[in-house]
Amino acid sequence: MSPLTDALAPALVDPVVFLSSYTYRTMLLGTSMVGLTAGALGSYLYLHKQSLVSDVIGHSAIAGVTTAFVTATALLGIAGRSVLVLTIGALIAATAAVLVANGIARASRVGIDAAMAICLALFYGSGVVMLNAISHSSLPERGGIADYVFGSASTLTRADLTAISGFAAAALVITALLWKEFKVLTFDPVLCRTMGLSTRILGPLLLGTVTVAIVIGIKAVGLILMVAFAIMPAAAARQWTRHLWSMIALAGLIGALSAAMGSYLAVSLGSIPTGPIIVLVLSAVLAVSLLAAPRRSLLRRRRAQRALRRRLLAEATCPRQDAGPQPAKGAPTAGRRIR
């Protein structure tokens, strides 16, 4: 065994002990559900080349989390740290940020990327200000509200797991019911309108399902790291397949398994946040996919480029055998006008 293996082996927790613990089991199920949903539905963002949207959703949702906490605690008198309440607030804020960015891009000469950057900074800045105000206030349950920004999977409860599962199931069911419509919208919006489908309805609906898939990880992973959950599994799955259904299924599987592996490693290594460990596992899977995928890997492309270069060089340096006899100098050739 290598020194690295010798160092890590004693720290690994027995899988039976890991699964028998209520806290660890809840953490495993919660992060796996988040990875499955975000990985599967993040494929649409990847195919639309809208990876920045996931960044906007993750950062702008902080304003929704803090606003929902203050509203629930100070005005409604209910549990402000409920995942259900905070997810609804994050969903509203994230959707508003994306819609405002699209509105700015349509109504002005500002590009969509710049508009999204503006909304990201605006919503994230306001969320951080409110987060600081909450930490210095006398509101109940204010302690630990920052965990929803960076994630704390070990504090997941059965109620949190129920809320995460409910939102995830709703997003996946909507995607399954509108599978054909979302597929046409993704690959050919013009054909979608020609078929009589309303892109003004399907577009926001697809965005809403993706937003749900991202914001359900506010407590398990944190809003900041959910960007990786939405993009990395899809990018890795794209290297192995060319079909939408298999890409979504593989991305969901990669997200779920990476979340499970990251949760296990976080518990085994101890005092290490779960979210960053899961992101490192996702990064490793993406790196392997980029290097070893049979059709689209970087190594395969490099070999193909070298083979093409050698063939072109051989054709340029070696005379063609089938060229036939060359015409004598000054003799008329086909296509040349004879004067």
Neighbours of 131 (CB within 10 A): 19
| pLDDT tier at 304, thresholds 50, 70, 90 | confident
Is 98 within a domain?
A: yes
163: domain CATH number is 1.10.3470.10
| pLDDT tier at 311, thresholds 50, 70, 90 | confident
| pLDDT, tens only, 197-224 | 888 888 889 988 999 998 888 888 887 7
**pLDDT for res 44:** 92
> Whole-angstrom Cα distance, residue 70 to residue 62?
13
| pLDDT tier at 276, thresholds 50, 70, 90 | confident
Whether the pLDDT of residue 42 is over 70: the answer is yes
Q: Where are the alpha helices (DSSP H) in the chain?
A: 3-8, 15-20, 22-47, 51-70, 83-107, 112-135, 147-150, 158-177, 179-187, 189-194, 199-215, 226-238, 244-269, 274-292, 298-317
Average pLDDT across the chain, whole number: 83
Whether the pLDDT of residue 326 is over 70: the answer is no
**pLDDT for res 339:** 47
| pLDDT, tens only, 27-39 | 999 999 999 999 9
| pLDDT tier at 138, thresholds 50, 70, 90 | confident
What is the domain count for the chain?
1
Is 329 within a domain?
A: no
> Whole-angstrom Cα distance, residue 232 to residue 238?
10
Is 316 within a domain?
A: no
| pLDDT tier at 41, thresholds 50, 70, 90 | very high
Whether the pLDDT of residue 105 is over 70: the answer is yes
Is 308 within a domain?
A: no
Whether the pLDDT of residue 167 is over 80: the answer is yes
Whole-model pTM: value is: 0.80
Q: Give the residue-averaged pLDDT of 35-60.
A: 88
| pLDDT tier at 338, thresholds 50, 70, 90 | very low
Is 183 within a domain?
A: yes
- 160 DSSP assignment: H
- Show the domain range for 177: 19-301
| pLDDT tier at 20, thresholds 50, 70, 90 | confident
> Whole-angstrom Cα distance, residue 197 to residue 185?
9
**pLDDT for res 327:** 58
Percent of the chain at pLDDT > 90 equals 26
Is 327 within a domain?
A: no
> Whole-angstrom Cα distance, residue 67 to residue 126?
10
